[in-house]
Amino acid sequence: MKKQNKNMEHHHPWLGMDKAAISHDLHHHYHLTLGRENAGNPLRYLYQAASLTIRDRLVERWRQTRRCYLEEGKKQVAYLSMEFLMGRALTNATLNLDLEQPMREALGEFGYALEEVAEHERDAGLGNGGLGRLAACFLDSCATLRYPVTGYGIRYDYGIFHQLIKDGYQVEVPDHWLEGGSPWEFTVLENSKRVKFGGYTETWEDQNGRPHVRWVSDNDVLAIPHDIPIPGYRNDIVNTLRLWKADSVDSFGLADFNAGEFDVAFTAQNQAAQISMVLYPNDVSVSGKLLRLRQQYFLSSASLQDVLDSWCESHDDFTDFAHRHCFQLNDTHPAIAVPEMMRLLMDVHGLHWHEAWQITTTTMAYTNHTLLPEALEQWPEKIVGRLLPRLLEIIQEINRRFLREVDSRWPADEEKKRHMAVITMENEPQVRMAYLAIIGSYSVNGVAALHTRLLECGLFSNFYALWPERFNNKTNGVTPRRWLVFSNPALASLITEYIGDRWICQMEALAQLKELVRDEGFRARWRAVKLDNKKQVCRLVMNRCNVEFDPAMLFDVQVKRIHEYKRQLLNTLHIIHLYRKILQGEVSAMVPRCILIGGKAAPGYATAKLIIKLVNNVADKINTDIRARPWLRVAFLPNHEVTAMETLCPGTDLSEQISTAGKEASGTGNMKFMMNGALTIGTLDGANIEIRDAVGEENFFLFGLTTEAADAVRRDYRPDDIINADPEFSHIMQMLESNFFCPEMPGLFLPLAHSIRDRHDTWLTAADFRSYLEAQQRVAQVWQDQERWTTMSILNTAASGVFSSDRTIHEYARDIWHLEAC
Ligand code: 26Q
């Protein structure tokens, strides 16, 4: 009972925050709202009742936050993202509102623990991985730091697929996460927007003879907002995540319905509803899926209309609009917002091109998340023209004007124009979404120092030469609330016991832990907490993989999307190496290890799926060999998701961040593990570089080529020579090629072996193999000195403060958004 009544004197008093009030509301929702009795299995309903109890308290603060933002009339940001990987909400909201104790006690009266109840919430898996989870961490930080930022996304009926492992293979199952309803969403019908599709354009003249364009669309879709509350950490702020659901504009064709043509009557409805049906898995090549473009435009148009419409409620013109609004584009996925902003300002609000362009290019900001050329989005001009005829006209005009600018900077340089054009000059012209985003934005940022440098000097070097002032770096971060306070309560309270709790919102304060590295009492407690957390991991691995991990062993973990550039294959080569050593009795330099690999592969990515099968077969072989048991256990964790990570990062000793240098834009899992006291084995890639700088090279296991060295190696790469010159490597390759791991399916893993031996292997697995092995040997050495390991573990957490998303968001607010806290 602290401060919850301030500012509300003129309003009804806020709902109670003590045990009695929580218990009362829990019973109320359980018995009345949900209509349950004291029979049967109550857990699912208790989850709902607990959520509604918390939700009531969020709603009060939500209303107040909205009023506060409105009264202050400050600048606002719309964060546009096709993905928000939120995970569970109940525990997060309970802890952010400081209601853990009363909620525990109230649930205790029903005979249950908060954790048991929380288990009944499905993950909101509306994202693929890093990019989607980053958006979720950012929302948490924005609310905690009192920044008026609204997340805009799509309310997918089906999130990222559920991954089953059958016979070692990935099997994808639809993720119907909304089954049974979600207590966290509020439908706001009155704020629905109409989104146009298809048809044609025509010009018309107004009384003054000024030409205008009208888009006569023939496939309109309704966007219905579903708002999700985003509570800040113990600050009475609740921000909004607005997710759009697609529906048909008229419930169904009434004429067809009356004529009894139900199937015809429903097709329009189904077509419309398809748009928000399912999240696209992040594929290797992101080429032209029409439905994906429909999704992107649906999100962009509905969100921009939302902001513009509410602006027009209190303004007669757009003079001040750019000072009050900013749109952050989470990768190119919502880049169609650039021409859509132009369309809305010109065709709907009557502005001239130059006025509209001025507003667009002072409100849009673009974040890039990838260096892989195959992941850059392009849409065939033909498809854009058919689906969004008015937008193609605007894109063409943007392109014409831009090429004029290129020409004045590099006169008569046709090559430059071909390289930089928004619409490629080929037989089948393509719209380059990244270029559209850069040209339409006043800020372009990468997500780690190396990544931004590579954008400037590589992928976008022409644009950097043209507009150096637009480019800036914003190194990613993760929220310490979810990834330390809630995921690792034991470590969090240990830290707080010694240095107070200021670090929770000011993570740099963790540096104070450095002074405790020699404190024997503290060190012993640190180790005890890690051991306990590892027991949790053991339970998870037993339940999901049916493999027995031993908490006394070194826990070596690589969980992330499966991709060749992340090199789960390199990790697997090391596993095979260890197994060989065991079989040969050469265990003197070895330490007992449990190795866990987890992650989803894009359904169409055959190589990634084969890597999963290999990991599973290798794991089976090793786990059923009693000679290996004292030294090595291996498991593949099925269906890696946010909630699994909450158990994994507190219980990990060694974090694998082993991507080919220059390929991982940032990585964020690396930060979550570091915060929780794991040591990193990693390459000089993405944010690993900054992690190593922060913690000191002596506390980081570095290996592998640098980006520049990797580029040099690629020019004359001969993996076979590397393998032949290295007897141990040769033996491992022989095992991979000899059907040792797939006796029932000869040749199964040959494609993987070939990819390692391929002279065009851009991931350079063979080139980094020896260096990786040596780094793993250093890991084993240090592990044998548990005192030293403990010191390094504490120092990693102590240095992790800069990787709080609070730091990142402060930088976005200061450098890009020019945003003040409320
Ligand atoms: C595009 C077109 C069609 C279908 C899917 C996609 C698509 C979807 C998701 C393309 C890419 C993604 C996700 C990318 C992603 O997660 N990137 C990661 O972003 C993190 C946050 O910045 C970085 O830390 C990672 O390095 C980066 O890989």
The label of the residue with tokens 């082993």 reads: 658
- CB of 377 closer than 6 angstroms to any ligand 1 atom: yes
pLDDT computed for residue 13 by the predictor? 75
Q: What is the pLDDT of residue 294?
A: 97
Which stretches in the chain have pLDDT values below 70? 1-12, 39, 251-258, 262-266, 284-288
Q: Given the CA of residue 134, which atom of ligand 1 is nearest to it? A: 21
Half-sphere exposure of 628 (CA within 13 A, CB side): 24
Regarding the beta carbon of 685 and ligand 1, being less than 6 Å apart is answered no
CA nearest to 321, candidates 335, 310, 332: 310
Question: Residue 1: its pLDDT value, please?
Answer: 39
pLDDT at 813: 98
* Ligand 1 pocket test target in 79, 282, 330 with most atoms within 8 Å of CB: 282
Amino acid 624 reads T
Extract the tokens encoding 390. Answer: 């008015």
- Model confidence pLDDT, tens digit, residues 581-597: 999 999 999 999 999 99
| Ligand 1 atom 7 nearest Cα | 282
Ligand 1 pocket residue status of 292, Cβ below 6 Å: yes
Q: How is residue 148 written in tokens?
A: 């008026």
433 in ligand 1 pocket by Cβ < 6 Å? no
Query: Ligand 1 centre and the CA of 446: distance in Å?
Result: 13
For residue 384, give the nearest of 335, 330, 441, 439 by alpha carbon: 335
Ligand 1 and 183: CB distance under 6 A: no
Q: Is 808 touching ligand 1 by the criterion CB < 6 Å? A: no
Q: Is the CB of 128 under 6 A from ligand 1?
A: yes
> Which residues are marked as active site?
369, 560-561, 566, 668, 672
* Angstrom distance (rounded) from CA 368 to CA 382: 25
Compute the distance between CA of residue 487 and CA of residue 137 in angstroms, rounded to an integer. Answer: 14
> Which is the closest atom of ligand 1 to the Cα of 83?
9
- Give the start-end residues of each E strand in 49-185: 76-80, 84-87, 124-126, 149-154, 162-166, 169-173
Cα(292) to ligand 1 centroid in Å equals: 14
- Residue 193: how many CB atoms within 10 A of its CB? 19
Task: Say what the alpha-carbon torsion angle 176, 180, 185, 186 is, to the nearest 10 degrees.
Answer: 130
Taking the centre of ligand 1 as the mean of its atom positions, its distance from the CA of residue 568, in whole angstroms, is 18
pLDDT of residue 513: 98
Q: Would you say the CB of residue 340 lies under 6 angstroms from ligand 1? A: no
| C-beta 87 within 6 A of ligand 1 | no
Q: How far apart are CA 668 and CA 655, in angstroms?
A: 12
What is the pTM for the complete model shown?
0.97
Q: Whole-angstrom Cα distance, residue 393 to residue 384?
A: 10
| Cβ–Cβ < 8 Å for 512, 499 | yes
Phi-psi region for residue 336, left (φ > 0), alpha (ψ -120 to 50) or beta? alpha
Q: How many CA atoms lie within 13 A of 801 on its CB side?
A: 16
Q: For ligand 1, atom 13, which residue shows the shortest CA distance? A: 131
* Beta-carbon contacts of residue 196 (< 8 Å; ≥ 6 apart): 215, 217, 219, 220, 301, 388, 390
* 489, 525, 672, 735, 786 from 516: Cα distances, Å: 19, 12, 21, 47, 16
- Take atom 12 of ligand 1 and give the residue whose Cα is closest: 282
Closest atom of ligand 1 relative to the 281 alpha carbon = 5
Residues 270/276, Cβ–Cβ less than 8 Å: no
Tokens of 404: 């004029």
In contact, 424 and 432? CB cutoff 8 Å: yes
Angle between helices 750-757 and 568-583 (to 10 degrees): 110
34 by Cβ neighbours in 10 Å (0-12 / 13-18 / 19+) ranks as middle
614 with 749: CB under 8 angstroms? yes
The conformation of residue 801, written as its DSSP 8-state character, comes to G
> Which atom, in ligand 1's list, is nearest to the CA of 686?
26
| Atom number, ligand 1, closest to the C-alpha of residue 129 | 16
Structure tokens of 289? Answer: 């899926």
The alpha carbon of 685 and the centre of ligand 1 are apart by a number of angstroms equal to: 16
User: What is the helix (H) or strand (E) element at residue 205, kind and residue range?
Assistant: strand 200-205
| Closest Cα to atom 6 of ligand 1 | 282
What is the crossing angle of helices 750-757 and 606-623, to 10°?
A: 110
Q: What is the CA(242)–ligand 1 centre distance, in A?
A: 21
DSSP 37-78: -S-S--HHHHHHHHHHHHHHHHHHHHHHHHHHHHHHT--EEE
Q: Locate the ligand 1 atom nearest the alpha carbon of residue 132 and give its number.
A: 16
- Please state, in angstroms and rounded to a whole number, the distance separating the CA atoms of residues 357 and 360: 5
Q: Verify whether ligand 1 is closer than 6 Å to residue 330 (CB atom).
A: no
Choice from 131, 285, 330 to test ligand 1 binding pocket (greatest atom count within 8 A of CB): 131
d(CA 53, CA 100): 12
Q: Which atom of ligand 1 is nearest to the CA of 127?
A: 9
Give CA separation, 605 vs 237, 397, 442, 763, in Å: 42, 37, 35, 16
The Cα 536–Cα 545 span in angstroms is 14
DSSP code of residue 565 = G
Ligand 1 center to residue 501 CA distance, Å? 34
| Residue 804 CA, ligand 1 centroid: distance in Å | 20
**CA 339 → CA 77, 413, 510, distances in Å?**
19, 26, 45
As given in the structure block, the two tokens for residue 257 are 């319905």
| Radius of gyration, CA atoms only, the chain | 27
Let me know: does 599 contact 568? Beta carbons within 8 Å: yes
Q: Give, for ligand 1, the residue of 134, 138, 278, 370 to mutate: max count of ligand atoms closer than 8 Å to Cβ.
A: 370
Tell me, what DSSP letter sits at residue 280? Answer: P
> What is the Cα–Cα distance from 478 to 511, expressed in whole angstroms?
17
Pair of tokens at residue 619: 């794991």
* Nearest residue to 275 (alpha-carbon basis) of 350, 309, 224, 233: 224
Q: 635, 675, 676, 673: which is closest to 538 by C-alpha?
A: 635
List 158's β-bridge partners, or say none: 278
- Cβ 282 under 6 angstroms from ligand 1: yes
Question: Under 8 Å CB-to-CB from 354, ≥6 apart: which residues?
Answer: none
- Find out whether the beta carbon of 81 lies less than 6 Å from any atom of ligand 1: no
For 387, other C-beta atoms within 10 Å of its C-beta total: 20
- Cα-to-centroid distance, 377 and ligand 1 (Å): 11
Q: Do the beta carbons of residue 370 and residue 563 sit within 8 Å?
A: no
Write b or e for each residue in 254-288: b if 16 or more Cβ atoms lie within 10 A of its Cβ, otherwise e.
Answer: eebeeeeeeeebbebbeebbebbbbbbbbbbebee
Pocket flag, ligand 1, residue 663 (CB < 6 Å): no
Pick from 374, 446, 511: nearest CA to 689: 446
**Where would I find the beta strands (DSSP E) of 436-574?**
443-446, 471-473, 554-559
130 lines ligand 1 (CB under 6 A): yes
